[in-house]
Structure 1
Amino acid sequence: MPVALVILLLDISLIYHAARTGRLQPWAFIILMVPLIGALAYIVVELIPEWWGGPGAAQARKRVANRLDPEKRYRELSDRLATSDTIANRAALAAECQNVGRFEEAESHYDRVLGLPQGDDPAYALAKAQAQFARKQPAEALATLDALRERWPDFESAEGHLLYARSLAEIGRLDEALAEYQAVTQYFQGAEARVRYGLLLQLVGRTGEARMVFNELLIQMRRAPKYLRDAQAEWLSIAEKQLSA
């Protein structure tokens, strides 16, 4: 039997399997456009993990699928919202918009949610500010965070506090940003807040203080468990580079 015919039959079989198991998109396109390689990818990503089972295999399959079709989840949530316009569905779509870089749409969804009687929640206001900052509108993010603090004075969020400091820095209010960074570093979990604080200290010429921040962070993290150091590797690398510069 000619090799081309074998590949064709394999492709047809896998497309049929994908259709039967709800995986037609994007696999049909991939298998047809890249003969043999597409089929092998389907076997590795979908069939082998299915045969092996287990949560690790499922997570690996999800990661690869997201790379192949990053907006699949976005389309699913859009369809769900079109069918049932609830706060939960709109908030889920807004969060996915953030994941795929649709920040303006995310902000629009959060505005809609916040305008509803049962959507008046500080978590949605914070998410809106994050979308505004992500689309390079720090002044708008700052205004949203100020309104959040006025509306919900007891709400506490380390992520929100860090975003507030970053927004101040982005619009040039550096002294205020330094004060907020110093405050948030006292309780923020992880290295990001301290590294950003050190970088801003360097920017304003307070090099000695910046080096102290970086050095104290690295000393502390050397005593931390390996899994914590691995989780903060990106920020620790920045601190090390700043000290070696």
Structure 2
Amino acid sequence: MSPIILLSIVLQIACCVHVVRTGRPLYWVFILLVFSYLAVLIYVIAEILPDLRHNPAARRTVRTMRNRIDPERDKRDAARLLQAADTPENRRRLAEESLRSGDYAHAAELYEQSLKGLYATDPNLMLGLAKAQFGLGQAQQTRDTLDALIAANPTFRSSDGHLLYARAVEGTGDITAALNEYEAVVQGYPGEEARARYALLLQRSGDASRAVSMFKEILTRSDVAPKYYQREQRPWIELARKELATLA
């Protein structure tokens, strides 16, 4: 059978299954079976693409692909918006895009400019500044910013912010305090990074038995987790396997 015909059959069947599973009008099945490639193209444009625009997972996938092709696009767009209108929201957006792209110096500058007036103690802006400072290797400044954040916003909670604080404390060389922070953050952190970093610090501080226990916990949790979780956490899972092999 010709590959072109085979591909047409596969696409037609896939679209027909989509029609039935999503409750589309059944006349699409007739159209798809009769008009082959043209019907598939029309069906994708008329029925599938509109759904993708409203699907969060699809939007994330599209954005990821777009960022791989042109990683600076969102940052350029944010810069143009800020140039057209210097508002707190536009400055925040450019700061976030600068942070995402690894331009920590520019991100820190923008966050510092934003932390004024009504926004002087905004917890999200302060957390953004702390992330930029940590990216610049400024562990003590990061710790100071996060201490100020909690002092000004005692009810603010962020698992990423708590992990960042533990890393900043570790970066200042305060190992005992860092171990305490890691022990606290692993209790509710939605992923394996906190456990992996805690185990690594336990290992460096000479507590190999607790490090082994923490690495094993990572593997145990991942073994019973859904596939998507295993994919997302693969770097930390592989790190745990590697370190356990070394410790053994």
- 1:83 corresponding residue in structure 2: 84
Matches within 5 A, 1:1-150: 54=49, 55=52, 62-118=63-119, 120-150=121-151
Q: SS in structure 1 opposite 2:187?
A: coil
For the pair 1:180 / 2:172, whether they are aligned, the reply is no
- TM-score computed with the length of structure 2 as normaliser: 0.73
For the pair 1:238 / 2:233, whether they are aligned, the reply is no
- TM-score computed with the length of structure 1 as normaliser: 0.74
From the superposition, tell whether residues 223 and 102 of structure 1 become closer, same or farther in structure 2 (CA, over 3 Å): same
State the identity %. 38
Q: Check conservation: 1:87, 1:119, Cα contact below 8 A.
A: no
Gaps of 5+ in 1: 1-47
- 1:30 corresponding residue in structure 2: none
Q: Deviations over 1:75-134 (max 9, x none)?
A: 221111111111111100000001111111111111111113146410110111001001
Q: Check conservation: 1:113, 1:120, Cα contact below 8 A.
A: no
- 1:162 corresponding residue in structure 2: 163
From the superposition, tell whether residues 174 and 228 of structure 1 become closer, same or farther in structure 2 (CA, over 3 Å): same
Q: Which moves more between the two structures, 178-187 or 54-63?
A: 54-63
What is the total number of aligned residue pairs between the two structures? 196
From the superposition, tell whether residues 141 and 95 of structure 1 become closer, same or farther in structure 2 (CA, over 3 Å): same
Instruction: Name the amino acid aligned to 2:129.
Output: K
From the superposition, tell whether residues 62 and 151 of structure 1 become closer, same or farther in structure 2 (CA, over 3 Å): closer
Per-residue deviation at 1:73? 1.9
Q: 1 CA distance for matches of 2:60 and 2:159?
A: 28
- 1:31 corresponding residue in structure 2: none
Q: 1 CA distance for matches of 2:232 and 2:154?
A: 32
Q: Deviations over 1:144-165 (max 9, x none)?
A: 0011111111111111111111
Q: SS in structure 2 opposite 1:156?
A: coil
Gaps of 5+ in 2: 1-40
- 2:15 corresponding residue in structure 1: none
Per-residue deviation at 1:189? 0.8
Q: Deviations over 1:205-229 (max 9, x none)?
A: 1111100111122112211222212
Q: Check conservation: 2:121, 2:149, Cα contact below 8 A.
A: no
From the superposition, tell whether residues 188 and 64 of structure 1 become closer, same or farther in structure 2 (CA, over 3 Å): closer
